[in-house]
């Protein structure tokens, strides 16, 4: 992983995550990687983005340890694979998808759906739970900040 010195907010995990994957292109590349995209041309076809921007985002995701650049089976082309760090973004992508389903579409407007392969049903809504399984929301949590100077 690249060790940055220019974090937006060095002690905040949300800010660091946003610095690494916060732009729309990077999130959509990660989404496409979860959907099976591996080659530069597959990402470009799906996203319709300029080659230079795609190259930059792929390089940043590789440098950040989210994707790995590996030769294909024939050794003729580079493929991009999610690393463990990248696969750990699955919950983030699902949460963002579900937020979009609730808040970015008009009632009744058609949109894609994430389906559980085992059940054939839509993936249940992601919830934050306490240790007893009770749903937590922002009113039931707080952030403990790092004291100044550390």
Q: What is the pLDDT of residues 99-134, one digit of tens each?
A: 999 999 999 999 999 999 999 999 999 999 999 999
Split into its structural domains, the chain has a count of 1
Q: Looking at the predicted structure, is the pLDDT value of residue 140 above 80?
A: yes
Read off φ and ψ for residue 115, nearest 5 degrees.
-115, 135
Closest CA to 2 of 84, 79, 59, 86: 59
Q: What CATH number is given to the structural domain containing 38?
A: 1.10.10.10
* Entry pTM: 0.87
Tokens 């579900």, residue?
98
Decide: 52 and 46 in contact? Cβ < 8 Å: no
Task: Extract the tokens encoding 50.
Answer: 């300029």
Size (the chain), residues: 150
In a domain, 8, yes or no: no
Q: Is residue 49 part of a domain?
A: yes
């Amino acid at each position: 992983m690249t060790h940055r010195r220019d974090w937006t907010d060095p002690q905040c995990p949300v800010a660091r995550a946003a610095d690494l994957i916060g732009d729309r292109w990077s999130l959509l590349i990660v989404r496409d990687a979860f959907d099976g995209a591996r080659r530069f041309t597959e990402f470009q076809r799906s996203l319709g983005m300029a080659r230079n921007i795609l190259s930059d985002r792929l390089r940043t995701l590789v440098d950040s340890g989210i994707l790995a650049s590996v030769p294909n089976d024939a050794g003729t082309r580079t493929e991009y694979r999610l690393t463990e760090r990248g696969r750990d973004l699955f919950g983030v992508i699902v949460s963002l998808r579900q937020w979009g389903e609730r808040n970015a579409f008009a009632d009744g407007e058609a949109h894609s759906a994430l389906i559980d392969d085992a059940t054939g049903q839509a993936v249940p809504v992601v919830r934050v739970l306490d240790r007893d399984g009770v749903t937590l929301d922002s009113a039931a949590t707080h952030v403990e900040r790092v004291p100044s100077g550390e």
